[in-house]
Structure 1
Amino acid sequence: MTTIIYDHDIQTKQFEKLFIIRPAVLDDAEKAADLFNAASRAIGASGIETAESIRFEWSEPEYDLATSSLAFFTPDGQMIAFQEVVDYSTIPVRPRLWGHVHPDYWGRGIGTYLVNWAEKLAHRVFDRVPADARVVFTVGRNAKNRSAHDLFIANGYLPTGQAWQKMLIDLDETMPIDPPAPDGLRWVTMTELNDTRKAYSAHREAFRDHRGFVEEDFEVMYKRWSAFMLDEKYFAPDMWYMLMDGDAIVAYAFNWRENDLNPDEGYVAQLGVTKAYRGRGYGKAVLLKSFHEQWKRGKRKVSLYVDGSSLTGANKLYMNAGMHIAESYESYEKEMRPGKEYSQQG
């Protein structure tokens, strides 16, 4: 049996005859939005990417678009493929490889080329992880995208059984209940608390046993979280609802006024319960509070994202509150080096 060896350099020369290949720049955001949306429409996925949201993601403080991305353009300037490597954790033991190919260009080997390019680039993490660390490269796909499954399997990635799920509830014209604070607790918004460091500390505690969590310096993680959650486009302090026991935040739901992929939906960006307070119904309380407040602001749909294999059973909480799975995104991984597991895996 003959073994076919993939030669990246030969493929590069062949593709360079047909396409302009270079890292993406911020001014490419409109073209990227067109590409991402075309790929989503082709598989029947929901959500509309905007140039604004893409520029926001590409401008994250620790992300370097110039050294972490590659894009294909036709001679007339259309972006027809994009790939990136996200590895800005201070202990990047699970770099994420993510990309899209325009459906008009499927079946030409571009996806295989980009996965190989990304793997080669992602090897840079070995200079930044402990010598004994297990290193795993990760990819993911919308569950509707069968061709991506085939691409990943062909390149040695295996399904993890973990799926990120978009949960959605359709609210009717009857206002959802406004849940009272459980006995001994009180409701507080971020407008009243005015302490985002305290809020992040509670979130970090609640997600410390979340699958994939890697322990990093508090200041590093707070800065990364703040750049996203406190940006003026998203930050709505009057919609951050917290249950407090004395001075301690024990449960929270940090809401946005809309899901940036589906603006007609209210969005629960982050929700959690600290470990010592789980199993008392506090997660459901902050979720119902979110439904009530989003409804008051005119939203008749509310969405959030959750690990479908959550170690805390969060997905079951959301389903019991009336939400359903609207989209599912399946995870795959390839072990590049065995060793000590530095990320939370249950």
Structure 2
Amino acid sequence: MGANLMSLLSPERLQTRALSLADAALVETFLNLCSQHDLGEDWCEAGDLKRDWQQPSFSIAESTHALFAGEQLVAYADLWDMQPSYVRAFGNLAVHPTWRGRGIEDHLMTWLIETSKRNLARAPQQARVTLVMGADSRLNDLCAIYERHGLRHVRSYYQMRLEMKAPPPAPTLPEGITVRTFVKGQDDRAVFEALDEAFQDHYGHISGQFEVFEHHMLNGPLSDFSMWYLAMAGDQIAGMCLCSKYIPEDRELGWIEDLAVRRPYRKQGLGLALLQIAFGEFYRRGYRKVGLGVDAQNLTGALRLYERAGMRPERTWLRYELVLREGEELATQTLTAY
């Protein structure tokens, strides 16, 4: 842990302890406590973190870091960098509200930065390598910690919401397009491939792994396959709208996890039609608000689409990056002509 941190905390004494799967519930409770203090909402549901820790290729021992005061968990950080190109790691940290401002945040940031440098040896030699961290825009102290360690704000994301006081407009599908729901065991790979292809036009995209999609989406407890809508052009997936039952911070908010339209089928009204299908079904089920996330500078114009559908920004999420090595950018940065 280092003498510097220990001297900052004197006379208290903190200990590091390796975590195991059995600690998932403890960390979930801790993260929800921090989130309730900061934002008035839970960070996750029971079982979420345990599922995350069981993601393919994730090592609890190598990618988590926890500080304890006796039996009390007072600080936690984790690092997600299993994507095979290894050009980007995602970090998170949390400190118990009563233990903040004593140097623990700097200790966690140092651990995240130093641990993320393992990617320098795993990424292609010519590739740019970064550490990415995020924060709700209301968390000014957390943003200041990032900036103190050299991270810079590179992108903003909105949580968009629609409030429905009446049934939404009926959708109008483009000619030749039909919509059906997802069939698990039949559509799994085709949906992953179409989604990955469509998202190649999104800032920061790096082609994903089917195993990760399977773990988080196909086996995710909040995924609602009865509201996974596939827009079909014959036997080809033209677009999709994949919905979840809700998100942990608001069980009354119907959630659209992914909306994607493949290039040949864009600018024909398909995205709006898929949104309206989802809005209508959420309304029928008793939801009166629907949300989704979007890049505020989305390359394909998704923000304008959501605004046209009646959605408005509810909150902002900030993306920070630290460049660990300059080089060729392998993630999508701009939209190529088509």
Normalising by structure 2, we get a TM-score of 0.92
- Offset of 1:306 from its aligned partner? 1.6
Equivalent in 35, 38, 41 of residue 40 of structure 1: 35
- Residue 182 of structure 1 is matched in structure 2 by 174
Question: 5+ residue gaps in structure 2?
Answer: none
C-alpha distance in 2 between matches for 1:165 and 1:62: 30
54, 65, 73: which one aligns with 1:79: 73
Amino acid paired to 2:196: R
Using a 3 Å threshold, how does the CA distance of structure 1 residues 86 and 109 change in structure 2: closer, same or farther?
A: same
C-alpha separation in 2, matches of 1:69 and 1:48: 17
1:320 partnered with 2:330: no
Letter in 2 for 1:36: L
Q: What residue is the counterpart of 2:297 in the other structure?
A: 309
2:28/2:46 contact within 8 Å kept: yes
CA-CA distance at 1:13 after TM superposition: 4.8
Q: After superposition, what is the alpha-carbon deviation per residue over 1:209-260, rounded to whole angstroms, capped at 9, x for unaligned?
A: 21111246xxxx1111111111151343221112111111111101112223
Cα shift readout 1:100-150 (whole Å, capped 9, x = no counterpart): 112211111111100001111111111211111111111111100000111
Aligned 8 A contact 1:31 1:78 in 2: no
Coordinate RMSD, CA, aligned: 2.1
Letter in 2 for 1:61: P
1:123–1:175 CA distance, 2 compared to 1 (3 A): same
Contact 1:257 1:294 in 2 (8 A): no
Letter in 1 for 2:251: P
Conserved? CA contact 2:6–2:14, under 8 Å? no
1:163 pairs with one of 148, 156, 162: 156
Question: Is residue 2:86 matched to residue 1:92?
Answer: yes
Check conservation: 1:19, 1:72, Cα contact below 8 A: yes
User: If the length of structure 1 is used for normalisation, what is the TM-score?
Assistant: 0.90
- Secondary structure (helix, strand or coil) at the match of 1:239 reads strand
Corresponding position: 1:206 with 2:201: no
1:253 corresponds to which of 230, 237, 241: 241
In the TM superposition, what is the alpha-carbon distance from 1:31 to its structure 2 partner? 2.6
Q: Aligned with 1:164: secondary structure? A: strand
Report the residue type matching 1:191 in the other structure: V
2:227 is equivalent to residue 239 of structure 1: yes
| 1:272 is aligned to 2:265 | no
Once the two structures are superposed, residues 240-286 of structure 1 have per-residue CA deviations (whole angstroms, 9 ceiling, x without a partner) of 11211111111110111222332222111111111122222111111
Residue number in structure 2 paired with 1:31 = 26
**What is the CA–CA distance in structure 2 between the aligned matches of 1:38 and 1:133, rounded to whole Å?**
38
Q: Distance in 1 between matches of 2:106 and 2:163?
A: 39
Structure 1: how far apart are the matches of 2:47 and 2:184? 30
1:316–1:39 distance in 2 versus 1, CA, 3 Å: farther
| 2: CA distance, partners of 1:47 / 1:38 | 8
Q: Deviations over 1:162-187 (max 9, x none)?
A: 11222222222x22234243221111
- Check 1:264–1:187 CA distance in 2 against 1; reply closer, same or farther (3 A cut): same
**Is residue 29–residue 55 contact of structure 1 (8 Å, CA) maintained in 2?**
yes
1:78 Cα deviation from its structure 2 partner:
2.4
Contact 2:157–2:318 (CA under 8 A) maintained in structure 1: yes
In structure 1, C-alpha distance between the alignment counterparts of 2:213 and 2:220, rounded to whole Å:
13
Select 2:3's aligned residue among 10, 16, 19.
10
SS in 2 for 1:67: helix
Question: Structure 1 pair 33/115, CA: closer, same or farther in 2 (3 Å)?
Answer: same
Distance 1:285 1:130 in 2: 41
Q: 3-state SS of the aligned residue for 1:191?
A: coil
1:26, distance to aligned residue in structure 2 (A)? 2.5
Inter-partner Cα distance in structure 2 for 1:167 and 1:148: 23
320-329 vs 115-124, which moves further: 320-329
Structure 1 unaligned regions, length at least 5:
1-7
Task: Tell whether 2:126 aligns with 1:138.
Answer: no
Q: Deviations over 1:3-58 (max 9, x none)?
A: xxxxx732355469622312333332333233222322333354442232222222
Q: What's 1:53 paired with? A: 48
Q: CA deviation at 1:60?
A: 1.2
| 1:338 corresponds to 2:326 | yes
